[in-house]
Structure 1
Amino acid sequence: MTVTATAAAWAVTAVGLAASPAAAAPAATATPRLGDTCTVADLGTRLPYIKTTEVSPTITHFKGWYVTQGSTGSQSVTTTTQTSISVTVGLNGSVTGTFGNQVLGTVAATLGLNVQVNYTSTSSESSTVNWNFNQPGYYGVYKGTKKVTGTYGSLNCNRTQQGDGSWALKWIDGPGTGSFTTYTTLEEGAVRCEDAVPANSIMAKAKFLLDCGSPAARAEHPAGAVAPTEKQTQDRLAQQSAATVGAPSAGRPEAAGSGALAAAALNCTPGAYRIDVPGRPLNWSAPLLANDGIRLRESTFFSAHLDNWRLCNVTENNGVLEATLWNWGNGGCATIPANIANQEQAYLTTANCSEDDLQRFYVYRDVPGSSKVGLQNKYTGSMVGYDRYADGELIRQYSGGRQDGTGTFTMTGV
């Protein structure tokens, strides 16, 4: 692969390659907000914050049921599925790793609701409701919940310039956004057209489904199940359709703007860097074998440039660098394999360079004068780190980063 260096070198201050230590920053608050201070250890982490929310009462199971004067008392009613709700976070729809759980935990704290914070779904099968019917009449027997949807953003630690020209580490609005779906505790019950119910409640939604003005609601029926009204059928179809809109497809969705341009020409800065563990001798080293991953290794005379990286197609937006990491030793670009990109702790490797967001990384930097950085994959949104400090340890992605500081690296010019 041919690599073309740009005439304008990537400025030393862009990653702060001087050896002087960073200025001390105050500890971040327990629940950081945009603009709060962060620390060097936070460069390799990210936290969610909730941008928008919507809470809507949703009926998951329903059955019209008629009780005659002689059939009051306790009965078991088999309801049919009205809609099914699955807990999802982000692109692939699953709730894996720390970040997905943090998103849902933040939703719960923001709204003050007891929502599901792990992957689960409401039943798509018929479900039985046991209810004591004290009066005759036309009932809607139901199971339901409050469906909670919305969008979230990412808080990332990065250097920001103050009004007086000094620099500080702050929590910023990181690139990208995502959506979530969850729901509250399920409830069940029965409601009649004559019943007064709280507005915007699950019971009110069930009463709406009764279609009280319809002939079916006003007619006399034998005791037991009543055929669905037109409104009930239409609402069921609408809810089921809404549940499938935007549902993730199997496998990896395509990254925006990606392309299979193997060996595409890259516009790289002249300098090369080692991505080191701060204060330790081990650093990122590209694999010699095609099926291996990027590992922590010590630089030696025999490293053959496998531990040297160039930054290519560099852009900057709101102080955050975005770059492709090209390895001098094997000519490949750092990437997360597409077949495991949706997995927590998926390892990094190198592959033929292409215009693919799996090969693009955001670089979060300490204040000028420090070489400390955190790295985030553009496609998955996960931060880069490692499980333990050991020779041969794989470099991996972590959805929320590494809270123990093992996602903070230094970039050292070679």
Structure 2
Amino acid sequence: MSSVTKAARAAVAALAGGLLLSTVLTVAASADPPPIDGASCSSSQLGQKVWSYSGPQINIKPVITDQVAINIAPGTTGTRTDTLTEVETVTRAVTNSVGVEVSASAEAGVIFAKVSTSVKATYNYTVVTTGSKSTSKTTAVTWNFNQPGYYGLYRGVQQVSGYDQYTECIRYPYPSVPIGWKVRTLNFNMFTSPEEGTILCTGPATTLPDIFITKIRDLARKRLGDC
């Protein structure tokens, strides 16, 4: 067994809570593309799954999950506790191409391992692998303000979404090709560790569309609005 395959198996065991694999899971090398959809395979290969060598296709965008705006008037600075209001949640899930959730499967474990590694290496973010939501309730936060002003308190995450594919050797329901390779597409939605902070309103908010905003704090500043 190659070192790549061993690493994939170890990651699946760690992220899927020791889920037993009933089929062979392999990660194809970059020089060896997975079999073509519809190509024939042998009975000894039934159940084998070869993951896309190109890796998961990933899109990352900032999401504000909790926020509150507060005004600190002159003479009222100091320590205070404010409750952030939940404005959006990001739910983690892995689904197949027809929308059926497969988050508890071995395939989902492989996706978590591959996405976590890719996001860490490319963006230096850590993907959260426990729980189902980025946030689930309002939270009280204590801050020390030493200057008056209009502030925004926020918490947010980077939403990690996209898809990955593997090719599986299956038995077709029609007799012309009794055994063959079939491409499976799995869509995923995950999120990174939360960022928490405060924004001081110092002028007009950005007019950039959200699609061009990459930092959580910049999105929080836009949500705060004009001063």
TM-score (norm. length: structure 2): 0.64
Q: Give me the whole-angstrom Cα distance separating, in 2, the residues matched to 1:173 and 1:108.
A: 27
1:44 matched to 2:47? The reply is yes
Secondary structure of the equivalent of 2:79? Answer: strand
Q: Which residue of 1 aligns with 2:224?
A: 210
Flag the structure with higher helix content: 2
Secondary structure of the equivalent of 1:111? Answer: helix
Partners of 1:52 and 1:151 within 8 A in 2: yes
Structure 1: 5+ residue runs without aligned partners?
1-26, 159-171, 218-414
Q: 1:76 to 1:44 in 2, by over 3 A?
A: same
Q: Which residue of 2 aligns with 1:128?
A: 140
1:32 matched to 2:28? The reply is yes
1:287-320, CA deviations, whole angstroms, 9 ceiling, x for partnerless residues?
xxxxxxxxxxxxxxxxxxxxxxxxxxxxxxxxxx
Secondary structure of the equivalent of 1:140? Answer: strand
Q: 1:173 to 1:206 in 2, by over 3 A?
A: farther
Count of aligned positions: 170
Which of 194, 197, 217 in structure 2 is aligned with 1:189? 197
Q: 1:94 to 1:178 in 2, by over 3 A?
A: closer
1:90-149, CA deviations, whole angstroms, 9 ceiling, x for partnerless residues?
133352032212112211111213112345212332222222223211111111110111
**What is the identity, as a one-letter code, of the residue corresponding to 1:33?**
A
1:106 matched to 2:114? The reply is yes
Q: 1:94 to 1:129 in 2, by over 3 A?
A: farther
Q: After the TM superposition, which residues 10-409 of structure 1 pair with which residues of structure 2 at under 5 Å, given as runs? A: 27-28=1-2, 30=4, 31-33=27-29, 35=32, 44-46=47-49, 48-49=51-52, 50-90=55-95, 91-93=99-101, 95-112=103-120, 113-156=125-168, 174-194=182-202, 200-212=214-226, 217=227
Partners of 2:50 and 2:166 within 8 A in 1: yes
Partners of 1:86 and 1:122 within 8 A in 2: yes
Partners of 1:131 and 1:189 within 8 A in 2: no
Q: Give me the whole-angstrom Cα distance separating, in 2, the residues matched to 1:153 and 1:120.
A: 23
1:313-337, CA deviations, whole angstroms, 9 ceiling, x for partnerless residues?
xxxxxxxxxxxxxxxxxxxxxxxxx
Q: Give me the whole-angstrom Cα distance separating, in 2, the residues matched to 1:174 and 1:29.
A: 25
**What is the identity, as a one-letter code, of the residue corresponding to 2:74?**
Q
Q: Give me the whole-angstrom Cα distance separating, in 2, the residues matched to 1:70 and 1:187.
A: 29
Compare relative contact order (CA 8 Å, sep 6+) and give the higher one, 1 or 2. 2
Q: Give me the whole-angstrom Cα distance separating, in 2, the residues matched to 1:62 and 1:105.
A: 31
Q: Give me the whole-angstrom Cα distance separating, in 2, the residues matched to 1:134 and 1:42.
A: 67
Query: Could you tell me how far 1:156 is from its partner in structure 2?
Result: 4.0
1:52-110, CA deviations, whole angstroms, 9 ceiling, x for partnerless residues?
21100110011111112222222211111110111000133352032212112211111
Q: Give me the whole-angstrom Cα distance separating, in 1, the residues matched to 2:140 and 2:218.
A: 20
Query: Could you tell me how far 1:29 is from its partner in structure 2?
Result: 5.1
Partners of 1:101 and 1:118 within 8 A in 2: no
Q: Give me the whole-angstrom Cα distance separating, in 2, the residues matched to 1:46 and 1:119.
A: 27
Q: 1:47 to 1:194 in 2, by over 3 A?
A: farther
- Kindly report the root-mean-square deviation, in angstroms, between the aligned alpha carbons of the 2 structures: 3.0
Secondary structure of the equivalent of 1:189? Answer: strand
Query: Could you tell me how far 1:42 is from its partner in structure 2?
Result: 6.8
**What is the identity, as a one-letter code, of the residue corresponding to 1:133?**
F
**What is the identity, as a one-letter code, of the residue corresponding to 1:108?**
S
Partners of 2:93 and 2:103 within 8 A in 1: yes
Q: 1:173 to 1:137 in 2, by over 3 A?
A: farther
Identity of aligned residues (%): 24
Q: Give me the whole-angstrom Cα distance separating, in 1, the residues matched to 2:142 and 2:50.
A: 43
Structure 2: 5+ residue runs without aligned partners?
5-26, 36-41, 171-179, 204-212
Partners of 1:104 and 1:116 within 8 A in 2: no
1:385-413, CA deviations, whole angstroms, 9 ceiling, x for partnerless residues?
xxxxxxxxxxxxxxxxxxxxxxxxxxxxx
Secondary structure of the equivalent of 1:44? Answer: coil
Q: Give me the whole-angstrom Cα distance separating, in 2, the residues matched to 1:47 and 1:181.
A: 22
Q: Give me the whole-angstrom Cα distance separating, in 1, the residues matched to 2:139 and 2:220.
A: 16
Q: Which residue of 2 aligns with 1:332?
A: none
Q: Give me the whole-angstrom Cα distance separating, in 2, the residues matched to 1:75 and 1:95.
A: 41
Q: 1:105 to 1:136 in 2, by over 3 A?
A: same
